[in-house]
Amino acid sequence: MSAALQLVSVRGLKRVFDVSRPWISRFIDREPRRLLRAVDGVDFTIERGQTFGIVGESGSGKSTLARMVVGLLRPSAGQVLIEGVDMAATSDPAARREVRRRMQMIFQDPYASLNPRWRIGDVIAEPLVAFGLGAAQASGSEKTLDKAGIVARVDDLLRLVGLDPSDKRRYPHEFSGGQRQRIAIARAIAANPDFIVCDEPTSALDVSIQAQILNLMRDLQETLGLTYLLITHNLAVLRHMATRVGVMYLGRLVEIAPTEELFAHPRHPYTRMLLDAVPDLAMSGRARTPVGGETPNPIDPPPGCPFHPRCPRAIDRCRIEAPILRDNVACHLPLSDSK
């Protein structure tokens, strides 16, 4: 991948949570500290204009990863670079502010992410005010808010997401779930970002509304040149939206591949098991292995490959040695195209 095309680069990203009991209790009971490795050394890049999807079961670390990428959660180690700029490391307030403007987030729950006491117009206008995008040059060096310009911009954003400008006077509880997610999308694109992290943006919506929101996101991507990081557990959403897919298991990426290649020829046994859990509407007759067992406790993960207790192909090496991501798959016995 050409470095000139890379918008986002994630390098060795880790997040460790200390879930130990209070130290006095541990001292009395002689217990060691308990650490939860929610994200454990994740690397990937996203090209401008692409959608990189992250899929995995609940508890795999997807949402933690999303919050670190967008800057809501500080990583324990690693970097998130936006065109080479690390927001966490830069000491220039102006540069850090510009990076924050360039990346926004769409949350899973469209109601919880909107302030219930604010009218929709104020919700969408908030990024314009926060980043000074609604300021007009006044006499001298001071800037004043261009209220008429902000109102016009809010009206344009509402139209862009399929709502009426008159809706700006209403409150979040007066809208349906799909309409609230459209409002959240309007707020996300208000600051003219380059990169949007979408954390399960359709999981709280009905299936028919999901399709409308996904089509809206694709249209906005083409119109505005947006780049997405899409976090989901829905394989159908990934196939519809993603350019490339990363499969996450217990805080690690176990496979990365272009979307069609991943669906046609999965190489990691966990990826194959996820795909086998989807109903076979084509009735191909191919032998399918449903996902068995449960995700191990991330506080006390199994030795070696973390997937080996559930893997039908596990060998002794898998129980001792953790595989590294090589050729975009982390497995000692990757699947061939014929299997």
Domain that holds residue 110: 3-117+171-319
Which is more confidently placed, 85 or 331?
331
| Residue 71 falls inside a structural domain | yes
Provide the 3-class DSSP secondary structure of residue 38.
Answer: strand
| Residue 85 falls inside a structural domain | yes
Give the residues across from 139 on adjacent strands.
none
Percent over 90 (pLDDT), the chain: 62
Mean pLDDT for 258-269 is 94
| Residue 79 falls inside a structural domain | yes
Which is more confidently placed, 283 or 186?
186
Mean pLDDT for 231-251 is 93
Least Cα distance to 280 among 235, 336, 313 occurs for 235
| Cα distance between residue 256 and residue 144, in whole Å | 48
Under a CB-based contact definition with an 8 Å cutoff, are residues 303 and 317 in contact? no
| Residue 299 falls inside a structural domain | yes
What pLDDT is stored for residue 193 in this prediction?
94
What pLDDT is stored for residue 339 in this prediction?
47
The alpha carbon of residue 300 and the mean position of all alpha carbons in its chain are separated, in whole angstroms, by 25
Phi, psi angles (nearest 5°) of residue 201:
-70, -15
**In terms of DSSP bridges, do strands 77-82 and 6-18 run parallel, antiparallel, or are they unpaired?**
antiparallel
User: What CATH code is carried by the domain that includes residue 22?
Assistant: 3.40.50.300
Q: Is the confidence at residue 328, as pLDDT, over 90?
A: yes
Instruction: Say what angle helices 177-189 and 207-224 make with each other, to 10 degrees.
Output: 20
| Residue 145 falls inside a structural domain | no
| Residue 97 falls inside a structural domain | yes
Domain count, the chain: 1
* Confidence bin at 304 (pLDDT 50/70/90): very high
Distances (CA, A) of 199 to 30, 89, 146, 309, 333: 39, 24, 33, 29, 31
Under a CB-based contact definition with an 8 Å cutoff, are residues 69 and 8 in contact? yes
- Residues in the chain, overall count: 339
What pLDDT is stored for residue 198 in this prediction?
95
| Residue 135 falls inside a structural domain | no
| Residue 150 falls inside a structural domain | no
Under a CB-based contact definition with an 8 Å cutoff, are residues 168 and 124 in contact? yes
Instruction: Tell whether the torsion through CA atoms of 129, 217, 258 and 230 is positive or negative.
Output: positive
| Cα distance between residue 257 and residue 16, in whole Å | 27
The tokens for 163 are 């709502």
Taking only the tens place, the pLDDT of each residue in 138-161 is 544 456 668 888 999 999 999 999
Mean pLDDT of the chain: 88
pTM of the model: 0.89
Q: Is the confidence at residue 282, as pLDDT, over 80?
A: no
